[in-house]
A and B are shown apart, each in its own frame.
With several copies, the nearest count.
Chain A
């Protein structure tokens, strides 16, 4: 049986993601992070609670909105910021930017912005894990929009057919860019219901309730690790800022302001705080620690060298392995 949700740690993990995202948002308008950035502010509970119970050897994959997953899985902060700043020391050596995070040491394999693009790759990693008789699992995060892509179906079908150790985690924030669910997906069914198409266990939970996410993921991970094949999880959550970029976008009018306010009131961090987790003193300590870490990380990232334009042709073809 899995342990109960370690709420103080989850609080810390969420708060850290929030503070890092806020720091990026604050500095983004300076125009030195010259790549599209998709913030996960408001959605921190899912990365924290899912990645919080993964081993280093477990492999995580994500999409365009990947900062939280990368950080919660233990991805190196300086390397991530350096990547956003287009530095040679970036986790992808500046070639990828915010949408191509990677930290193999932490088991964060790859994020990529083409919707659903990393889903089959995660399944392939699970397939080869079974060949190696490894116990590591693949976890892939994606949005509600990504489930509309054919590659999602092909991946679910194969993972179920071969009973592969993959956890499919959908962060349903009800929008794909500015498009609501209506018209994009059938009414009257949850994304989790798609599990039935593949005889795949699936569950649904409030993605802003970190304890609920933890429990739901714990059960699913136990199944997946136990060799019972893949699971699909759907967590309902909400993005606070604009689809891409550091600002709110309430002025666009595609989301009712009551809706936005309602979800802001359901802040996953505030929720724990209201329950007294982790306590004021601890929170102050965390804030101080993260502030120092973040400042140092920005300084290190910004001090790092730019890639040399003469290396433009590097990494196109590897040398022989």
Chain B
């Protein structure tokens, strides 16, 4: 095992992809800066030059167009937004131009751009800095959308995205950045559109995205003590959606809980649940259940945020109901490492 953090895995993927292909370039405010997008781009400007690792003004809309224009000369830009929320300013260029670029000129142009959108949860990121809008991008024809949940996939999906000729939106969750795991040294791909059985099990399926995979694995761990075997499917991509892995798992278990990082209503989980209802209807023994954010903006105060963001315990409760387990038998939730649950682990320090 070659242990690397999620952030290091992204860094390595970027460095290797840039070394492999001189057309790969990075753009975004702060990308070449001293803190290097949470450490994921540090030193790359020094190594590959300021032309390929570009600082940018705060002009999210036009920056997207700059990247698109550069594809005309064969470049393959990776555009970075420190918060998903900032990409909201770029929706016109992303949706009206980039996503449709190949199609609307009859295949004569391509837009091989990767958008790294970071979900900024925790420490009071609040209403304008912690949205999780993957469902938007997945809804727009032309994009591929991936959401890595492990260091290995953080690198592998990034490399696959960079090599793909479609525009790809990568949603990276800040709470995964410190997570450590096995990351091969080679330049490998995690194919877009292929889910992963993160943990096999036979009593129920939890189909999860991004950071919710970690919470699902925690839930599975804790339910194992009760003899309940949960299968955790890390969806990895929303577009293409791996319908067969999802439905085969549901066919094995008969139960589905979907856990996504975004709002439940009209969210990614709706597509996953609806797909399972359509394609694995005969196998579903009970109604599918969705876990995610309630239909409220993201609050800042930790007293509210702790109640807002779903955790393993919410998944456990949903599974208990599905599987007729007396909720009283569920293990008590671990206490937070401090007073609040708004930071991912004890070593994390504010400001953010």
Question: Measuring CB to CB, which residues of chain A are less than 8 angstroms from any residue of chain B?
Answer: 28, 31, 34-37, 59, 86-87, 90-100, 102, 104, 109-110, 112-129, 131-132, 134, 138, 145-146, 148-151, 154-155, 157-158, 161, 176-179, 183-185, 244-246, 252-254, 306-309, 311-321
Name the B residues within 8 Å of A158 (CB-CB).
Answer: 56-57, 59, 62-63, 66
Which chain B residues numbered 23 to 63 have a C-beta less than 8 Å away from chain A?
Answer: 29-30, 33-35, 51, 55-63
**Given A252-B35, A316-B103, do A151 and B301 touch, yes or no (CB 8 Å)?**
no
Name the A residues within 8 Å of B295 (CB-CB).
Answer: 316
B110 → A minimal CB distance (Å): 5
Instruction: Name the one of B33, B69, B300 contacting A100, with C-beta atoms under 8 angstroms.
Output: B300
Asked if B261 is at the interface of the complex by the 8 Å CB criterion, the answer is no
Q: Quick check: B69 and A128 within 8 Å, CB to CB?
A: yes
Asked if B112 is at the interface of the complex by the 8 Å CB criterion, the answer is yes
Q: Quick check: B304 and A92 within 8 Å, CB to CB?
A: no
Q: Quick check: A97 and B64 within 8 Å, CB to CB?
A: no
Asked if B129 is at the interface of the complex by the 8 Å CB criterion, the answer is yes
Interface centre among B64, B106, B129 (most CB of A within 10 A): B106
Asked if B342 is at the interface of the complex by the 8 Å CB criterion, the answer is yes
A125 CA to B108 CA in the complex, in Å? 16
B138 → A minimal CB distance (Å): 14
Asked if B303 is at the interface of the complex by the 8 Å CB criterion, the answer is yes
Asked if B136 is at the interface of the complex by the 8 Å CB criterion, the answer is no
**Closest Cβ neighbor of B32 among chain A residues:** A179
B157 → A minimal CB distance (Å): 16
Which chain B residues numbered 85 to 135 have a C-beta less than 8 Å away from chain A?
Answer: 85-86, 89, 92-93, 96-97, 102-110, 112, 123-129
Q: Quick check: B104 and A96 within 8 Å, CB to CB?
A: yes
Asked if B340 is at the interface of the complex by the 8 Å CB criterion, the answer is yes
A28 CA to B127 CA in the complex, in Å? 21
Q: Quick check: A150 and B126 within 8 Å, CB to CB?
A: no
B194 → A minimal CB distance (Å): 16
**Given A95-B300, A312-B304, A316-B296, do A35 and B124 touch, yes or no (CB 8 Å)?**
yes
Asked if B181 is at the interface of the complex by the 8 Å CB criterion, the answer is no
Name the A residues within 8 Å of B306 (CB-CB).
Answer: 309
**Given A34-B123, A178-B30, A178-B33, do A90 and B351 touch, yes or no (CB 8 Å)?**
no
DSSP class of A's interface residues: helix, strand, loop or mixed? loop
A98 CA to B300 CA in the complex, in Å? 9
Binds A, one of B159-167, B247-255, B280-288, B327-335: B159-167
Question: Measuring CB to CB, which residues of chain B are less than 8 angstroms from any residue of chain A?
Answer: 29-30, 33-35, 51, 55-73, 75, 85-86, 89, 92-93, 96-97, 102-110, 112, 123-129, 141-142, 144, 163-166, 294-297, 299-304, 306-308, 338, 340, 342, 350-352
**Given A34-B302, A253-B34, do A114 and B73 touch, yes or no (CB 8 Å)?**
no
A98 CA to B123 CA in the complex, in Å? 12
**Given A34-B342, A178-B35, do A92 and B102 touch, yes or no (CB 8 Å)?**
no
Q: Quick check: A125 and B110 within 8 Å, CB to CB?
A: no
Q: Quick check: B351 and A245 within 8 Å, CB to CB?
A: yes
Name the B residues within 8 Å of A114 (CB-CB).
Answer: 85-86, 89, 92, 96-97, 128
Q: Quick check: A113 and B129 within 8 Å, CB to CB?
A: yes
Q: Quick check: B127 and A96 within 8 Å, CB to CB?
A: yes
Q: Quick check: B58 and A146 within 8 Å, CB to CB?
A: yes
Q: Quick check: A154 and B62 within 8 Å, CB to CB?
A: yes
A123 CA to B63 CA in the complex, in Å? 9
**Given A35-B126, A96-B104, A100-B105, do A176 and B69 touch, yes or no (CB 8 Å)?**
no
Q: Quick check: A99 and B126 within 8 Å, CB to CB?
A: yes
A81 → B minimal CB distance (Å): 13
Q: Quick check: B123 and A150 within 8 Å, CB to CB?
A: no
